[in-house]
Amino acid sequence: MDAFFASVEQRDHPEYRGKPVIVGSPPDQRGVVCAASYEARKFKIHSAMPSRTAGRLCPHGIFVRPRMDAYRAESAAIMEILRGVTPVIEKVSVDEAYLDLSAAFENHTDPDAALEAAVPVAREIRQRIATERKLTASIGVGANKFLAKLGSDFQKPDGVTLIRERDKLEFLRPLPVRSIHGVGPVTAQALEAHGFKTIGDIQKTDADLSGITGSFAASLKARAMGMDDRAVDTSDERKSISAENTFIEDTEDRPTLRAALKELALDVADTLGSHGIGALTIQVKVRYSDFTTITRQVRLEDPVTEAREIYRLAQFLLARDRLVKSPLRLIGIGVSTFVPPRRSQLLLPI
């Protein structure tokens, strides 16, 4: 879905249409941006940005409190449309899903003919969402999840992008290495330091990349060649990553808590990076001297992957709900609702 939270607000409030809509806390309060419309993104507004910063960058922005119940209900209606196309669906998040249409086109002996036959289905899905839900979606059609995801990001908003098998190497060649699923900021930095700046640089090398990326080297090379053997996962299993610190002595010392929080954010970010994923939900957990345990969370529209983003959001949650009101026995950070990392805009013509 395109700018999902903000688009729902613009649909439900016609006076917001064509204007910069920022879903999150007001700019005069402590808080963060959860989502931004395309009009707001022109002012460099993005998820996880402090609302005060967004207010400075976009002084005429319309700030709207998140309505997660409304977004979840809208997501359910959209997923019902998708289930009318195929039952083989992997719901990645509230606004994103993979559909496996292999069974519908198994009689095509030419892979590209099958992909081309799937394009009208993609256009029909997009049209149904526009007609029935009054929202726009962008869809990628590819032979695997990696290519389909790239395609869905390519012509936003309201686009359908086909990546044929015969064209995939050329399509991938100029893209930055960060576009590869599984390549987080740390891996990208290491690859770039060795001269691998684009996917094309990886395509043409015969060098052993395991010295740079370890066990991920084989998968990295396969992705650079447009191959991805991950199946569409139809399970609804909830997954999370977390890190906690139990203090030797209960404390409310701010420098101690900040240092612990930074370490936890680094730990969580490293795990996200090793799996090549981002998280849409950030949670903090505190336990007091009497073993009372409290958790608070914030949900974003665009994923976070880096330690500084996770740390800032955890700090926001602690401050917003005044969780450090007495000495803490334990502090923790958790992330969930996993999606591919945020990508840079793809500008390659097709």
Provide the edge-to-edge strand list for the sheet that holds 21-24.
33-36, 21-24, 62-64
Report the C-alpha gap between 88 and 91 in whole angstroms: 10
Per-residue pLDDT at 348 exceeds 70? no
CATH of the domain at 121: 3.30.70.270
Q: In this structure, is residue 182 part of a structural domain? A: yes
CATH of the domain at 324: 3.30.1490.100
Mean pLDDT of 59-82: 94
Please indicate, yes or no, whether residues 27 and 50 belong to a single structural domain of this protein: yes
Q: In this structure, is residue 235 part of a structural domain? A: no
More confident site: 237 or 136: 136
Number of domains in the chain: 4
Point out the domain boundary residue: 64, 94, 110.
64
Q: In this structure, is residue 348 part of a structural domain? A: no
Q: In this structure, is residue 104 part of a structural domain? A: yes
Please indicate, yes or no, whether residues 189 and 164 belong to a single structural domain of this protein: no
CATH of the domain at 38: 3.40.1170.60
Please indicate, yes or no, whether residues 247 and 177 belong to a single structural domain of this protein: no
Active-site residue, selected from the candidate residues 9, 15, 80, 96: 96
Mean pLDDT value across the chain = 90
Per-residue pLDDT at 235 exceeds 80? no
Point out the domain boundary residue: 224, 257, 292.
224
Tokens of 198: 């684009």
Please indicate, yes or no, whether residues 153 and 197 belong to a single structural domain of this protein: no
User: Can 237 be counted among the known catalytic residues?
Assistant: no
Please indicate, yes or no, whether residues 38 and 53 belong to a single structural domain of this protein: yes
Please indicate, yes or no, whether residues 200 and 250 belong to a single structural domain of this protein: no
Please indicate, yes or no, whether residues 318 and 333 belong to a single structural domain of this protein: yes
Please indicate, yes or no, whether residues 89 and 182 belong to a single structural domain of this protein: no
For residue 94, give Cα distances in angstroms to 48, 81, 88, 137, 335.
17, 14, 17, 13, 15
Please indicate, yes or no, whether residues 150 and 77 belong to a single structural domain of this protein: yes
Per-residue pLDDT at 350 exceeds 50? no
Per-residue pLDDT at 283 exceeds 90? yes
Point out the domain boundary residue: 169, 192, 207.
169
Per-residue pLDDT at 9 exceeds 60? yes
What does the pLDDT look like over 18-49, one tens digit per residue?
A: 999 999 989 998 788 999 999 999 999 988 88
Q: In this structure, is residue 232 part of a structural domain? A: no
CATH of the domain at 213: 1.10.150.20
Structural domain containing residue 51: 4-64
* Least reliable range by pLDDT among 114-118, 125-129, 268-272, 332-336: 268-272
Mean pLDDT of 73-99: 92
Total-model pTM: 0.76
